[in-house]
Chains A and B, each alone.
Chain A
Amino acid sequence: MGGLIEITLGIMTAVGGFVDVSEMVFAAQAGSRFVFSLIWVFAIATVAIAVFGEMSGRVAAITKQPVFNLMRQRLDLGPGIIALVASVVVSIITCAAEIGGTATVLKYLTGWPYSVLAALTTLALVAIIWTLPFKWIERLFGLLGLLMIVFAVATVKIHPDWGGVARGFIPQVPVSLPLKDLVTYGYFVVAIISAVLFPYETYFYSSGGVEEQWKPKDLKVNRLVAIVGFALGSMLAISILVNAAVLFRPLHVDPSIVGTSALQAAIPFGRTGLLMALLGMVFAFSGAAVETGLSSAYSLAQFLGWEWGRFRKPHEAPRFTIAWIATFALSLAIVLTGVQALDLVEWAVVLSIVVLPATYLPLILIANDRKYMDRHVNGPVSNVLGWVSYAMICIAALAALPLYFVTQGGKL
């Protein structure tokens, strides 16, 4: 890597790949139910993902080993296996949610049956991963996902109360709400933290660092891409929240159905806006499906010491190849059982926050270990932000299951 073009492309890819189906669903619902009062959660979770993303990229560049390879050395075999199984299960469910989301949007565009579109989407993704090298896979979906910028442009066009939006960035608890709504607010806080910090993002990011053979000289680019790319990507998610608050709330529209949010672009920009939003969603969701599908295979291969990577031909890393194909097959099978995409999104979000503490602890410990990192260990800023974020993740993980059951998945 190197040069302005690489940096720009890296940032654009991170922006286009930021929003996935669960962020979309929770951002839109957060806006329509709680106006701007959940914006701060996106902001804080984005700081956390930028910190952990940068850390995992740095660990990959220095140790040449991605997160999962090191997780086992840090957690020991037994806890490591449990973390592995949990994260593979989460990746499969998340992948199913992304495939389901993509198929739902494609149904709006084509009118074809949902299950046929889910199967075609999966086949297309498998064919793309089989044939394209890693960098092209990442760029293809990231850059086409930039069509989602239409949501940010829509935000400017609909003139929200910018003062109210700015106040949303201040951490707050709307204590004036009735208890029932307050508990649901708590569920949304946890769900948004989880959706932004999905564990597959760091597996994918750090594995990508090894795939692209990052070196210590790439650390600056890594930092820029992680901070600027994730921050701009998060602005897209926040604009979806703001649009939902302005456009959906007054009409009592519940945007829990995946495609509803596309109307945010249709209202100010008509047919063209609608088309851009739907296509942006197709690429953003299917890009996330690729990331989760590969992440599951990365985790397995790295934990068990197999040959892995898309820089190799499929038969040169055979067990890795079988692992990602099996992930897509299982994800498609889940989608074809007829489970609603929204339910999959909620399961993915709740399960992944429970797994998150096990993912990020080894990462932060290794990033602090001079034996692995030499002079590239965490500085004070990374450490303070990292540990504060880690504490936040642990609290969210403890609260996730009780809040999910009490609120019936936010449907209370």
Chain B
Amino acid sequence: MKPNGSLKLLAEVRDLQIVDKDGRSCGICDDIELDGGPGKLAIKALLVGPGAYEGRVPNWLFWLIKRIAGSRIARVPWSAVDKISARIFLNVTAEEVGLRKVEDRWVRKLQKVPTS
């Protein structure tokens, strides 16, 4: 499927692994943001992060997840999607769309450990 081609079911895009242009895994498409109205619906962005679980899991589970993992959401604009197969490939780096914030914090800490 190409981003400008016909959209398959929402379920086909949701839960797919996202890979940035450097080939790094940078999250899962947790949900999709739509734009427009009846007749001209279009995908606006891919939503990534525990905040996007709302509505997809029972309320009690979302409440619990929010307390443990927070409710951050990164929005990956649809224009950043290069192609979709079994994975979603981006034409930008993870940093450009805010998908490396947590990783980068840990990278700096781990790099201080010798032999890493």
Contact = CB atoms under 8 A, between A and B. Distances in A.
A322 B108 CA distance: 13
B106 A322 contact: yes
Given A63-B86, A130-B116, A81 B111 contact: no
Interface centre among A131, A315, A316 (most CB of B within 10 A): A315
B109 to A, nearest CB: 8
A372 interface: yes
B103 A314 contact: no
Interface in B20-44: 24-28, 30
A136 B86 CA distance: 30
B28 A321 contact: no
Contacts of B65: 81
A78 B57 contact: yes
A69 B17 contact: yes
Contacts of B102: 319
A77 B111 contact: no
A307 to B, nearest CB: 5
Contacts of A308: 25
A166 interface: no
A18 B103 CA distance: 35
Given A72-B28, A305-B28, A78 B58 contact: yes
Contacts of B24: 307
A322 B30 CA distance: 22
Contacts, number: 67
Interface string A310-322: 0001111011011
A256 interface: no
Contact of B26 (A131, A305, A321): A305
B1 interface: no
A305 B58 contact: no
Contact of A77 (B26, B53, B103): B53
B82 interface: no
B17 A314 contact: no
B27 A305 contact: yes
Nearest to B87: A65
B18 A305 contact: yes
Nearest to A304: B28
A327 B12 CA distance: 32
B113 interface: yes
A60 to B, nearest CB: 13
Contacts of B86: 63, 65, 372
Interface in B72-111: 86, 102-103, 106-107, 109-111
Interface string A299-339: 00001111110000111101101100000000000000000
Contact of A315 (B15, B18, B48, B116): B116
Contacts of B2: none
Contact of A318 (B25, B53, B107): B107
29 contacts: A65-B17, A65-B86, A69-B17, A72-B15, A72-B28, A73-B15, A77-B30, A77-B56, A77-B57, A78-B57, A78-B58, A81-B57, A130-B115, A131-B115, A303-B28, A305-B18, A305-B48, A306-B25, A306-B27, A307-B103, A314-B116, A315-B106, A315-B110, A315-B113, A318-B103, A318-B109, A321-B110, A322-B110, A372-B86
Given A78-B58, A319-B103, A321-B106, 19 more contacts: A65-B17, A72-B15, A73-B16, A76-B15, A77-B15, A77-B30, A77-B53, A130-B116, A304-B27, A304-B28, A305-B17, A306-B27, A306-B103, A307-B26, A314-B110, A314-B116, A319-B102, A319-B106, A372-B86
